Amino acid sequence: MEIHPKGSRARVLLSSVFGPYAQDDEFGSRSINPMELYHNQVTRAQGSFSLRMFHRSWGIMLIQANISAPCCVLDFPTREAFARELSTNHYDIVGISAIIVNVGKVREMCRMVRRLSPSSVIVVGGHVAAIPGLEAMIDADHIVRGEGVSWMRRYLGEDEHAPIRHPAIVSGFQTRVMGVRLPERRGATAATIIPSVGCPMGCNFCTTSAFFGGKGKFVNFYETGDELFEVMCQVESELSVQSFFVMDENFLLHRTRALRLLERMKQAGKSWALSVFASANAIRRYTMQELVELGISWVWMGLESPNSGYGKLRGTDIGELTRDLREHGIRVQGSTIIGLEHHTPDNFAEEIESAVGYQTDFHQFMLYTPVPGTELYQEMADQGRLLTDVDFADIHGQYKFNFRHGAIGRDDSKRFLDWAFRRDFERNGPSLYRMCRTMLQGWQRYKDYPDPRVRERFGREAKKLRSAYNAALWVMEREFKKVNRGVSERIHALRREVEKEFPVKARLTAAVLGPILLWSARREEGRLAAGRTYEPPTFVERRNWASVS
Ligand code: B12
Ligand code: SF4
């Protein structure tokens, strides 16, 4: 492979695509597609109770931490900030990171680089690279498919097999709920850890699996539980955290690594909490005791319909599994796909009712979407079912089908999707309430557990439950009377139980903080109704910069 003539002395800019994001514009921003994980695709129908926060662009942070060239990461720039960076600093390489929906922005950014920094080499990476024929759509010098750290190291003439240095990443920031922006105390937010990319299960629609090699393939940054443990200790001390957002598509699938991590955690007395993504078949390979002792406190899992035939669900009673997890204090984020091949207008409501019936703490709904690069995309293309006039900016699973479904029309796909979100909210209540319910179950079950690490973890959660969360329950109970009286009564019962567990503190906070939160939640409802949106701030981070002459 070609190496940049300046090697490690080349100056590198790594940028995410420009905002603002939560608006409709000609570059592909969509108001329906804000830069907020939960509000975008999980809690978006939950009004002021929606959990809102931003996440940094971890791919370019990881690349920056693993090259020795002087490198600037520009995250969430505006077009003006991107132009300013290009004009005020000389860059030999400009790397742009994007996903498919943002291809229009990549095109514009390449154009800007050619104009403002004509001698820069343009490298485009991330999921956008999966678009067939991308070379003809954008003016870039290199389009990188798959893992980027090793590519960039090779391009700079560095050792691509050197150990991966993990950056200290605070997983989310500017969190707000019920109109209140949560204080950003050091150590209060989980750190992101990225053990691998890709997933060997290779479900036909899965874009992350396909991008990193497909079925049977993935890239491990940390092979063993020992390596992972060391990295987590390093990040723990850098950020003073005890909880981790583990960004691995199927963390529990790597059982030997996970169990070795557990061993090391036990030896060192680590009371860590882990939020993970895992498929049902992977979760089933652990006992509840193992999961709890490993600190699994939140799990994101696919709940594709039992009639869909995906291997990861085979032999699993999803209702029982999700209930079990919650009863052991593990919050469950379910993910349901709308518009699978067997869905019809006749069976759709029943399928959603059964998914909603799992009562997971969070529930993501996504349209079945053939995304470029996946097996499903190829199948649909071969069958002539892809709709060719859909803008890439609208292919993300939260708008309308980009293919011809056998029984459901395009406009109906959107209606069904919106209905699923609404139904989940109305039937189960705000996710914030459901989370509190699971946390209480965990506390009640494990407060006297023999392993002090486990007691300590549930104790930390209980602290939140008896303070701000109980005040939030007080508000939700009131506000939900208008939506579903039955749910409001369930919230009331939960609040009573919390107050029985923590009689003084919980009652006091509900009485003092409750009315303030109620006021702020109502104010937020007003703002949202008036069209208020939220955008992440721009980050500029330079590394190895002092060595630049
Ligand atoms: C965190 C996250 C977000 C964050 C935003 C992060 C950000 N700052 O942009 C939030 C929550 C806001 C978000 C939003 C959305 N997301 Co998102 N997100 C993720 C998630 C969970 C993790 C990304 C990550 O950091 N991975 C770990 C890093 C290490 O991997 P990576 O980013 O792929 O980077 C590696 C390579 O791609 C490559 N690389 C990346 N950039 C570059 C740049 C250069 C120059 C080079 C050489 C290489 C390179 O090297 C990196 C290291 O190997 C992924 C799922 C996943 N498992 O990756 C989905 C994912 C990226 N999101 C996706 C989607 C569709 C969306 C949304 C449209 C929401 C939706 N409807 O689903 C919105 C779009 C928002 C917007 N307006 O742009 C899809 C992308 C699909 C696709 N094929 O394009 C993914 C893959 C989820 C999925 N399986 O469907 N997302
Ligand atoms: S199990 Fe999940 S992450 Fe793995 S391929 Fe299937 S959908 Fe993708």
Residues 192-251 pLDDT 10s: 999 999 998 898 999 999 999 999 999 999 999 999 999 999 999 999 999 999 999 899
Q: Which residues of the chain have pLDDT under 50?
A: 549
| Angle of helix 255-268 versus helix 225-239 axis, rounded to 10 | 50
3-class SS at 286?
A: coil
User: Which among 86, 109, 84 has a CA at the least distance from the CA of 27?
Assistant: 109
Question: Which of 222, 396, 398, 399 to mutate for ligand 1's pocket (most ligand atoms within 8 Å of CB)?
Answer: 396
- Give 99 Cα–ligand 1 centroid separation in angstroms: 6
User: What residues pair up with 176 in beta bridges, in sequence order?
Assistant: 52, 181
Q: Distance (Å, rounded) from C-alpha 322 to C-alpha 341?
A: 25
- The whole-model pTM stands at 0.96
Q: What is the pLDDT of residue 317?
A: 87
Task: Check: CB of residue 531 under 8 Å from CB of residue 56.
Answer: no
Residue 353: per-residue pLDDT: 94
For ligand 1, the distance from its centroid to the CA atom of residue 131, given in whole angstroms, is 14
- pLDDT confidence of residue 305: 65
* CA-proximal residue: ligand 1, atom 34 (nearest): 59
Atom of ligand 2 nearest to the CA of 208: 8
What is residue 316's three-state secondary structure?
coil
15 lines ligand 2 (CB under 6 A): no
CA of residue 127 to ligand 1 center, whole Å? 7
CA of 196 to the centre of ligand 2 (A): 13
Nearest alpha carbon to residue 171 among 49, 273, 21: 273
* Ligand 2 atom nearest to 206, measured from its CA: 8
Residue 340's alpha-carbon distances to 310, 345, 433, 455, in angstroms, are 11, 12, 30, 42
Omega within 30 of 0 (cis) for the link into 430: no
Alpha helices in 344-467 (DSSP H): 348-356, 375-382, 410-428, 431-446, 452-465
State in Å: Cα 266 to ligand 1 middle. 33
| Cβ of residue 202 lying under 6 Å from some atom of ligand 2 | yes
pLDDT of residue 314: 66
What atom in ligand 2 is closest to the CA of residue 205? 7
Those residues whose C-beta lies under 8 Å from the C-beta of residue 374, and which sit 6 or more positions away, are 204, 205, 206, 207, 210
Q: Is the CB of 249 under 6 A from ligand 2?
A: yes
Q: Computed over its alpha carbons, how large is the radius of gyration of the chain?
A: 23
pLDDT score, position 186: 93
Ligand 2: atom nearest CA of 199 is 4
Name the residue at shortest CA distance from atom 3 of ligand 2: 249
